Amino acid sequence: MARTGLDAEEREEIRVGLDRGDSLAEVARRLRRPTSAVSREVKRNGGRGRYAAVQAGRRAARKRARSKSTVFQADPALASRVADQLAEKDSPMTIAIAEGISHETIYQGIYAGGRRGLPAGLGRHLHRHRRHRKARPRGGAPSKKASPLGLYKGIALRPEGADEREEVGHLEGDLIIGQAGASAVVTLIDRATSFAMLGSLEGGHTAEQVANRVEMLLRRFPPEARRTLTWDQGREMARWPELEELSGVSVYFAGPSGFSVGEVVARVFDSEGRRLVVGAARSANGIACRTAWRRSMSMVRATEHPAHAAVKAEPYGWPPASLDRGSPR
């Protein structure tokens, strides 16, 4: 349990120790207090030569009783702007940078239930709809757990051809999980041509299942079309050494913040046209892929390269036979 402020008896012990010429460290040991706490107490009440226990206690009582306004209580206009931006789904960090305040101040206002100058109920506009703040351990940050990936190769070690997006065969992979984890799909996208291949996962998405499915997809590529694979640092790729050994493809990992494919955003639908991330796919055969292009590339470009003409498209190659080539959703 955290210690409270100094009481009258402790302040008197400090005065007696100072009169005897004891060091602040000796006084702190007798009180079982941090030396820094005793040092601050003495410094803000006149120093060693002028410290008086009674006056120090009265000053502390006045400080505790003083009414203090929060940032938002002192500036209603700021509070109104922040509330409007939160309603527009802006993140507290983005708002803090724009308004020149701390994001922690915004979070405290959100979760105070209307007691710190912001209206109650703003938490529903956050990306994570928590009603209360998540408790953090005291006494420093918790020790990091060992990564299930082990000693992996970072993205900086990738061949130069992968970074330039000019050489076919450098793939980026990802795992897309449906609502409540009821369905999952792995995606492989070529960085140079944006050729995409999907593979459904039946019965779960453990590291072993993901590695097996990715290895099956990679086997459909000719050797010149499967040189490297880049993934984020998700636990699902914990079996990457076995994947490398079985497929002959070098696996690299992006930084902790992940990476963005850049050219494409894959949206996976089931046979009834619902997005996989919203509703679980009922049938593996009904999975299709629609691709939204972020750069000025035609949809034909993804299948133009000769290396990809040899890829066995069944059952999840791009483009699937059932896909309507209309405008992306």
pLDDT value at position 327? 34
* pTM of the entire predicted model: 0.46
Average pLDDT over residues 264-273: 41
**pLDDT value of residue 176:** 86
The least confident of 130-139, 271-280, 297-306 is 271-280
The confidence score (pLDDT) of residue 137 equals: 61
Q: Which helix (H) or strand (E) holds 99?
A: helix 92-99
Q: What is d(CA 199, CA 185) in angstroms, rounded to the nearest whole number?
A: 6
The least confident of 12-16, 162-166, 304-308 is 304-308
- Cα 197 to its chain centre, rounded Å, is 26
Polymer length of the chain: 329
Average pLDDT, stretch 119-136?
A: 76
Burial class (CB in 10 A: 0-12, 13-18, 19+), 243: buried
Q: Which residue has the higher pLDDT, 295 or 270?
A: 270
Summarize the confidence of residues 199-216 as an average pLDDT. 88
Helix axis angle, 8-20 relative to 53-65, nearest 10°? 140
> Percent helix, strand and coil across the chain, each rounded to 5?
40, 15, 50
With H, G, I as helix, E, B as strand and everything else as coil, classify residue 53.
helix
Q: Which CATH class is domain 155-309?
A: alpha beta
In the chain, the amino acid numbered 83 is A
**CB neighbour burial string for 271-299, b if at least 16 within 10 angstroms, e if fewer:** eeebbbeebbbeebeebbbbbeeeeeeee
Residue labelled with tokens 């010429």: 21
Q: To the nearest 10°, the Cα dihedral for 319, 323, 328, 329?
A: -130
State what percent of residues in the chain have pLDDT above 70: 70
Average per-residue pLDDT for the chain: 76
Collapsing DSSP to helix, strand or coil, 131 comes out as coil
The domain ranges of the chain are 8-65, 71-125, 155-309
Q: Are 290 and 302 spatial neighbours (Cβ–Cβ below 8 Å)? A: no
Q: What is the pLDDT of residues 48-85, one digit of tens each?
A: 989 999 999 999 888 877 667 889 998 999 999 999 99
pLDDT in tens, 142-186: 556 677 888 888 888 888 878 878 888 899 999 888 767 778 888
Q: What pLDDT sits at residue 251?
A: 93
Tell me, rounded to whole angstroms, the distance of Cα 35 from its chain centroid: 38
From 50-54, 110-114, 133-137, 140-144, the region with the lowest mean pLDDT: 140-144
* Rounded Cα gap, residues 13 and 306, in angstroms: 86
Mean pLDDT of 202-214: 88
Nearest-5° Cα angle at 42, 39 to 47: 115
Q: Which two tokens stand for residue 292?
A: 């939204």
Q: Return the pLDDT at 157.
A: 87
- Asked whether the predicted pLDDT for residue 326 surpasses 60, the reply is no
Residue 293 has pLDDT above 70, yes or no: no
Residue 141's pLDDT band (cuts 50, 70, 90): low
